[in-house]
Structure 1
Amino acid sequence: MKEKEKKEMENESNTLIIEGRNAVLEAFRSGRTIDKLFVLDGCQDGPVRTIVREAKKQDTILNFVGKERLSQLSGTGKHQGVIACAAAYGYSDIEDMFCLAEERGEPPFLILLDNIEDPHNLGAIIRTANLAGAHGVIIPKRRAVGLTSTVVKTSAGALNYTPVAKVTNIAKTIEELKERGLWFVCADMGGETMYSLNLTGPIGMVIGNEGEGVGRLVKEKCDFVAGIPMKGEIDSLNASVAAGVLAYEIVRQRMK
């Protein structure tokens, strides 16, 4: 099995798996967040077409796969050609984050994650977000881990208090949030030392992928690129550690 497929299987194993046509259809109709839908390739009967329509309405990621792939995902062997991967925890809306900031009488502080793939990193960042007083975490729908059971566990209860929203496009979301008065800073080792930047006021902090960092398009949307001082022989921090360091520089400046 390829490394990418292995990683996907690990993420899916930590997600609520729903099998069978009736169960999957009811999950969609109940409003449950479905991250991914796997459908037997070539299956075109009425119930399956109905499920696919519901998936498209919710912008669920659709995968048409062979019998072997479905058998790998299935825990019961009775998938009937459809398997859904549902979030282990419910998502919020970005509007919930602005409401939380308003309730606290604080300028918004949001954390945006550009394709974080490790559920332990996502859980740790959500935990840090809560402790640093961030009003929410925003993650992309594709090429990133969602709210799996591992994320819930690693967050140590922070998901009960910190809203997490899923968006189609991080760069576009930054543009929309700028219209609401937010400034954006991303962490990148080529940036200006974070201590010299003004990180007060309404702010969005962007943390990039574990291996590649913040993508070029997302970085171009940011107002500041913050470098974290490093004195050792290696040249990068773990994504969740970098998030913690930069988040607490924002906390320090906001407390002045």
Structure 2
Amino acid sequence: MTAKILFGFHAVTVRLKSAPKTVIEIHVDASRRDQRMRQFVERAREAGAKLIDSDDDRLQKMAGSHRHQGVVARVEAVSLSHSLDDTLDAVEAEGKGPALLLLLDGITDPHNLGACLRVADGAGAHAVIAPKDHAVGINATVAKVASGAADTVPYFMVTNLARTIGELKERDITVIGTSEDAEQSLYDVDLSGPIALVLGAEGSGMRALTKKHCDQLVHLPMRGAVDSLNVSVASGVCLYEALRQRRD
């Protein structure tokens, strides 16, 4: 199995907790001996991980970033659901509640995707979906920003997002898109049933074809001077409103 790179305390710690046997080795900054590093090393040893002292140059090369925090791990890929159909079948069969999906149209910034995965995990979303031609894939930066959520939330890159939306509708999943031009507010619609929330890139929004295939469009009320939110923030607002409605 091909190894992948995780870096940063949160991402590596979550992997140690969720799938310690997939951690091949962890490189740590030999010059860093503060309390946070000591606690991390102790946790890694308790999990049986192989620890290797490295310098900053090596850590930067492995991570492809200077934001590694002194921790870089080589890990095996975690096997999540192989397909969206498998995921939705499991949600239904295991009684995990109404489907809650996040569709991202045109999100190419790995920091935004990582943050979206993190909030999707927090809100209990069953999957995140994006088009192959207009999205960033899972890489080390995404995994670091996601703080472990890249290993827990299935992320599917589909060939045709409009066709996938049609397939979701066939499963009686309501597809709700966000648009600043929509008449209805997010808080005026029922999010308690099976839904897929669609968000586009900040500024450009969803593509016209994607918007056309949504069942409903909603806007997020904006009361200040700015006219839009970062996509990860908007995702959090939408997903947690769905979560709130499902808890009531």
TM bucket (normalised to shorter chain) is: 0.5 to 0.7
Whole-angstrom distance in 2 between the partners of 1:246 and 1:209: 15
Q: Partner amino acid for 1:193?
A: S
1:235 to 203, 207, 227: 227
Normalized against structure 2, the TM-score is what?
0.65
Contact 2:138 2:150 in 1 (8 A): no
Whole-angstrom distance in 2 between the partners of 1:153 and 1:233: 32
Offset at 1:143?
A: 2.5
Q: Partner amino acid for 1:216?
A: A
Contact 1:210 1:239 in 2 (8 A): yes
For 1:190, what is the secondary structure of its paired residue? coil
Give runs of aligned pairs for residues 173-252 of structure 1, distance below 5 A: 173-191=164-182, 192-252=184-244
Offset at 1:99?
A: 3.8
Q: Partner amino acid for 1:168?
A: T
Give structure 1 regions of 4+ aligned residues with deviation exceeding 6 angstroms: 87-91
Whole-angstrom distance in 2 between the partners of 1:91 and 1:168: 17
Q: How many residues align?
A: 173
Q: Partner amino acid for 2:83?
A: D
For 2:134, what is the secondary structure of its paired residue? coil
Give me the CA root mean square deviation: 2.3
Normalized against structure 1, the TM-score is what?
0.63
Offset at 1:199?
A: 1.5
For 1:189, what is the secondary structure of its paired residue? coil
Could you give the per-residue CA deviations for residues 26-64 of structure 1, whole angstroms, max 9, x where no partner exists? Answer: xxxxxxxxxxxxxxxxxxxxxxxxxxxxxxxxxxxxxxx
Whole-angstrom distance in 1 between the partners of 2:240 and 2:152: 19
Change (3 A) 1:91 1:120: farther
Q: Which runs of 5+ in 1 are unaligned?
A: 1-13, 16-86
Q: Partner amino acid for 2:194?
A: P
Give runs of aligned pairs for residues 74-153 of structure 1, distance below 5 A: 92-102=82-92, 103-153=94-144
2:151 matches 1:170: no
Change (3 A) 1:194 1:184: same
Whole-angstrom distance in 1 between the partners of 2:114 and 2:197: 16
Q: Which runs of 5+ in 2 are unaligned?
A: 6-76
Change (3 A) 1:212 1:89: farther
Change (3 A) 1:91 1:167: farther
Contact 2:126 2:153 in 1 (8 A): yes
Offset at 1:253?
A: 1.2
> Structure 1 vs Structure 2: percent identity of aligned residues?
45
Name the counterpart of 1:158.
149
